[in-house]
A and B are shown apart, each in its own frame.
Chain A
């Protein structure tokens, strides 16, 4: 059974800092990995999708890497802003067209 873990569970940083969120998964046989953002009481916004054959994806200030063999992904956020405050979730698709979600990292960026 696939298990996804995210570290840290919560993070508070001052505005402008670069930061890294971590995601690990137990079964390396995945199709893809997705990073999402969730604002309080809201749905999920897809940030980046990395196919199993890829090593990284970039979108603006966000960069996500994937090391499938070691079961790890990182989300790098450059020059953080208060508007980045949210919960970040990673999810892997490993079989059966299903996503398994991590526990999330709650990010607070202080002005």
Chain B
């Protein structure tokens, strides 16, 4: 399957600082990228969807000014957690998919990065 690389895998930051997480599709062009958050022993919750060259679409309850998403190219999306607080500590996972056939998203698999464990102290 296709490879999605997420960096860093772990990060510890001080409260009030910002952290940037990168998500790269290594061997395909990702027309759409997704950012998820996962709490311990819970499932993935979609935070936002981004299409290359356009603004991200955030899910209800997700603060767009706090979680800045940039999808500047077909192989790179970044999530910046601004003014991080301890409650932002979580496991963040990105996903990418290429162009589908017919309706966007149909018939294409979603490939996931390795995840980033963020700890805010």
Contacts and interface: CB of A to CB of B under 8 A. Distances in A.
Given A41-B115, A44-B93, A99 B43 contact: no
Nearest to A6: B43
A65 interface: no
Interface in A1-56: 31-32, 34, 36, 41-46, 49, 51
B112 A46 contact: yes
Nearest to B57: A96
B115 A43 contact: yes
Contacts of A99: 34, 46, 95, 110
Interface in B106-121: 106-107, 109-115, 117
A108 interface: no
Interface string B20-41: 0000000000001010000000
A46 B110 contact: yes
Interface residues of A, number: 24
Given A42-B114, A42-B115, A43-B115, A93 B105 contact: yes
Given A43-B114, A89-B43, A97-B32, A32 B6 contact: no
Given A42-B115, A43-B115, A46-B109, 12 more contacts: A43-B112, A44-B95, A44-B112, A46-B110, A46-B111, A51-B107, A91-B110, A96-B105, A97-B32, A98-B49, A99-B110, A101-B44
Interface of B: 1, 4, 6, 32, 34, 42-44, 46, 49, 91, 93, 95, 97, 103-107, 109-115, 117
